[in-house]
Amino acid sequence: MTTAKEELWKTLQELNEKHFKEFQWFLKGSDVAGGHIAEARLDGADRQDTVDLMVQKYHCDGALETAAWIFEKMNRNDLSKRLRTRGESERLTGFPSNLKVVSTKLEQELSILVSQPSYGRVMLTTVNLLKGKLTQQMETLLDKAKLSRAQQFAVDVTLDPNTAHPNLTLSHDGKQVYSSSVKQNLPDNPERFDSAVNALGKHSFSSGRFYYEVQVEGKTSWDLGVARESVNRKGSINASPENGFWTIGLRTGGIYKASTVHLSVKSPLKKVGVLLDYEKGLVSFFDVDCAEIIHSFKDCSFKEKLYPFFSPGTHRDGQNSRPLIICPVSHD
């Protein structure tokens, strides 16, 4: 993961010279929180120098917040949102260790009071309960930060009709797929799944990170994730990481699975987010509505192109007729 300084430098790299000078002009202004940077220091400063000056003046968190404020002034809300999300993640990352320090200190101080049964043990029990609630709240905040971070890597995913099983119907815009009881007369090209009701996205990924969201509400069976280019597309398929599929899915009876692992969810999933980090060997799945990570495949060895993977499941006499819908990502 890049440092806060690197993130700020990369963001400034996206500005042309005119907008970079405008950014520096705001830094010289008297209404900058934390104080302005002297004009003499900014004159002739390139992007790296500017980042260094900002970190010296405002520290890392303050530099990110100041830059986000300036980008709002410049009507670059996309860059402002990115830096605010990064700043939030930076702050949240340090919370668990800080929580441990505070908890340890409380335990030491309260242990003195335990010898006074009138209130010591009651107080210690109360603090332990509060610690548990605080830890739970921290985990919730961290999950929200992780989802918000993942959404920054949203890409435009469309379905590839040349890969879709003949029983699958795709919308004209390639954003929806549902299973039908009617088998279409389609060419049996090498890319097409001929037995399992699967389809892939049009575009592959062999580096970096990408994220997309799919509405699954109302369905009784489905699978989502990523698949490598060389997966078997003919005959019976076992969708497992060993066979090139990193997916989660819903089975009859409301059972959620990731390969052979049973998954626990708070309530039936409505919208699922899929994140791939190619270099890190990571595929994560999010419950978008609850902002929780459902499951992650870690330490994967990716050596070829990967495609978004979709299976709406079989039609089941209309019981599973709802489509999978690729949704635009909302950065709330």
Tell me, what's the pLDDT at 105? Answer: 62
Residue 54 burial (CB count, 10 A)? 23
Q: Inform me whether the pLDDT recorded for 116 exceeds 90.
A: no
Average pLDDT over residues 176-189: 94
- pLDDT, average across residues 289-313: 95
CA–centroid distance for 45 within its chain:
35
Separation in Å, CA 299 to CA 1, 48, 60, 236, 247 = 16, 33, 30, 27, 15
The yes-or-no verdict on residue 88 having pLDDT over 70 is no
Burial (Cβ within 10 Å: 0-12, 13-18, ≥19) of residue 267: exposed
**Residue 123: predicted pLDDT:** 61
What mean pLDDT comes out for the span 242-256? 95
Q: What's the CATH number for 168-327?
A: 2.60.120.920
Task: Please indicate whether the domains covering 4-93 and 168-327 agree at the CATH topology level.
Answer: no
Q: How confident is the model at residue 30 (pLDDT cuts 50, 70, 90)?
A: confident
Position 288 scores a pLDDT of 96
The confidence score (pLDDT) of residue 51 equals: 93
Mean pLDDT to the nearest integer, 66-85 = 89
Q: Determine the pLDDT at residue 152.
A: 82
**Model pLDDT, residue 81:** 85
Query: Residue 35 pLDDT more than 90?
Result: no
- What are 59-73's pLDDT values in tens digits? 887 888 899 989 999
Does the pLDDT value for residue 87 go beyond 70?
Answer: no
pLDDT at 283: 98
- The pLDDT of residue 266 is 87
What is the mean pLDDT of the segment spanning 9-14? 93
Three-state helix/strand/coil letters over the chain: CCCHHHHHHHHHHCCCHHHHHHHHHHHCCCCCCCCCCCHHHHCCCCHHHHHHHHHHHHHHHHHHHHHHHHHHHCCCHHHHHHHHHHHHHHHHHCHHHHHHHHHHHHHHHHHHHCCCCCCHHHHHHHHHHHHHHHHHHHHHHHHHHHHHHHHCCECCCCECCCCCCCCEEECCCCCEEEECCCCCCCCCCCCCCCCCCCEEECCCECCCEEEEEEECCCCCCEEEEEEECCCCCCCCCCCCHHHCEEEEEEECCCEEEECCEEECCCCCCCEEEEEEECCCCEEEEEECCCCEEEEEECCCCCCCCEEEEEECCCCCCCCCCCCEEEECCCCC
Q: Which residue has the higher pLDDT, 125 or 172?
A: 172
Residue 248 corresponds to which tokens in the numbers above? 């989660």
More confident residue, 225 or 59: 225
Looking at residue 143, its pLDDT comes to 76
Share of the chain above pLDDT 70, in %: 83
User: 2, 45, 56: which is closest to 23 by C-alpha?
Assistant: 45
pLDDT, residue 172, reads: 96
Q: Does residue 160 have a pLDDT over 70?
A: yes
Residue 1: its pLDDT value, please?
55
- Ranked by mean pLDDT, the top range of 119-128, 146-155, 240-249 is 240-249
Q: Are 296 and 241 spatial neighbours (Cβ–Cβ below 8 Å)? A: no
Backbone angles phi, psi at 246, to 5 degrees: -115, 95
The CATH code of the domain at 4-93 is 1.10.533.10
Residue 117 clears pLDDT 70, i.e. is over it: no
Question: How high does pLDDT run on average in the chain?
Answer: 87
Whether the predicted pLDDT of 186 surpasses 70: yes
| 33 — pLDDT class (breaks 50, 70, 90) | confident
- Domain residue ranges of the chain, discontinuous segments joined by +: 4-93, 95-151, 168-327
Do 271 and 215 meet the contact criterion of CB atoms below 8 Å apart? yes
Q: Are 227 and 220 in contact (CB under 8 A)?
A: no
Residue 117 token pair: 């049964």
pLDDT band at 260 (very low <50, low <70, confident <90, very high): confident
Residue with tokens 């709406």: 312
